[in-house]
Structure 1
């Protein structure tokens, strides 16, 4: 085999990596001794491995690196012994392991980054869904208010302020056919903590007879301040009192906020 073909066969790389048998090693050593170009190619391969290993090994000191390079140089016409090549195989494996660990670390970091992005997207999606639900509820509330105001079958009763709250006011929308009642309480102040507004359907004759038709619960949470209460029939007046939370069996007249006749 010609020297050029021998070099290009790949056997010199296997020799440097320490992957040949003892017989094959002896053959390469003989070729290196006989042919200077084979010897030079072996040196070139070993130097390339040194450079590759140093690029992957940031913890290898300069003095250690120089010692290793010196041992790899051919002296007295002899090729570096098999032990040195095997050591370099170890270094190459170590460098590859470091590169693999770095790659795994980068992939793990990327995975965490992706997981964080997914979490942020999920949170944004949840907030968006909450916003949509809130807007839908507001739209329904607005639609209900508009329907109540526009319903020509509703009798509108204006309730004026009384001694307990002279500036208070409210409106009752009462459909006498369906007996459905809505209260527009936008003219009432926010009730104190532990108190609630109670709506009364009143009959004035032969004697004043109040009937509770509901409480304006969650007053502060309502944006429209329009509340649906219980149905009623035969009402001659409506009144709103301020009562303890949970309501009262009879109206507290000292806390009568608004009153209006049908």
Structure 2
């Protein structure tokens, strides 16, 4: 249980003011026995209410009882009997009533203040989450702008990779910047790999046929754009993409060759 959060909820003030249901009162009493911090807070609230009440009440003046007795004897006169009804001190009653109303009013203000603080905390958390989302969106936009700028570069060669026997409908595109030695793979035409497998990209020289791995299309399923940037310093004559066990392979599994394409003249 979060004791500080429970104390800040305002339920202890309602308990002291006597506005809770019997079941809620039993719950507070149980927590008070279990957690000394809660019992101490209840005592502090009760003390504050009593202090406020004492300060707000008119109080009893010095020699109050003697003055009252003298006043009664003066009002009744010598012939008065003890059966006469004393006058009611409405000023004292009103003072006590006002002090009690003031105490409960202060409790209500305290509860409202706690609720306001709680609402502000929730609002701040929502703002932080919104700022994080905006930051992620800006980062994604910047990445996409960089990719578009890369694809529009005049030094970029485009290689179309066609589907092979294992997946005839598959296709992909390779945007190869020979100056920057970077390839961008557009893998939108590949199906999602099964669990435990990843696509691996190979740079090929044809005579003799020599495959060199240039990287994996990691996190394929979570990449919405299916655009992947990989380094390639090879004198590539063709590119191929195979499906390999997660983590990649040293040599390509040609039975799982999904796409293949040669670099044009």
Counterpart CA distance in 2 for 1:178 and 1:19 is 95
Q: How far off its partner does 1:33 sit?
A: 5.4
The aligned counterpart of 1:136 is 138
Q: Residue 21 of structure 2 aligns with which residue?
A: none
Q: 1:168 to 1:184 in 2, by over 3 A?
A: same
The separation in 2 between residues aligned to 1:26 and 1:108, in whole angstroms, is 42
Structure 1 moving runs of 4+ over 3 Å: 22-34, 47-50, 95-101
Encode CA deviations 1:212-242: one digit per residue, 9 max, x unaligned: 0000101122122111112222100000001
In 1, the alpha carbon distance for the partners of 2:91 and 2:60 equals 15
Residue 145 of structure 1, CA deviation: 2.4
Correspondence for 2:90: 47
1:255 aligns with 2:262: no
Give the CA deviation at 1:29: 4.6
Aligned to 1:167: 169
Match of 1:182 among 181, 184, 187: 184
Checking the alignment, whether the CA contact within 8 Å between 1:184 and 1:226 is kept in structure 2 is yes
**Alignment CA distance shift 1:18-1:126 (3 Å):** closer
Distance 1:210 1:19 in 2: 104
Instruction: Tell me the CA shift for residue 121 of structure 1.
Output: 0.4
Aligned residues: 197
1:132 match: secondary structure? helix
1:203 to 2:201 alignment: no
Change (3 A) 1:47 1:177: closer
- What secondary structure is seen at the aligned counterpart in 2 of 1:155? strand
In structure 2, what is the Cα distance between the partners aligned to 1:166 and 1:175?
Answer: 27
| Distance across 1 between alignment mates of 2:59 and 2:71 | 13
How far the C-alpha of 1:198 sits from its partner, in A, is 0.3
* Structure 1 residue 104: Cα displacement: 4.1
Deviation at 1:180, TM superposition (A): 1.4
Tell me the CA shift for residue 27 of structure 1. Answer: 5.8
- Cα offset for 1:129? 1.5
Q: Give the CA deviation at 1:139.
A: 0.3
Contact 1:201 1:238 in 2 (8 A): yes
Query: RMSD between aligned alpha carbons?
Result: 2.6
TM-score after normalising by structure 2:
0.66
Compared with structure 1, are the counterparts of its residues 237 and 18 closer, same or farther at alpha carbon in structure 2 (3 Å cutoff)?
Answer: closer
1:182 CA drift (Å): 1.1
Q: Which residue of 2 aligns with 1:236?
A: 237
State which drifts further: 116-125 or 158-167. 116-125
Are residue 119 (structure 1) and residue 162 (structure 2) matched?
A: no
Output one character per residue of 1:173-221: Cα deviation in whole Å (capped at 9) or x when no partner. 111222111111111111111110100000011x110000000101122
CA contact (8 A) 1:202 1:209 kept: yes
TM-score by length of 1: 0.67
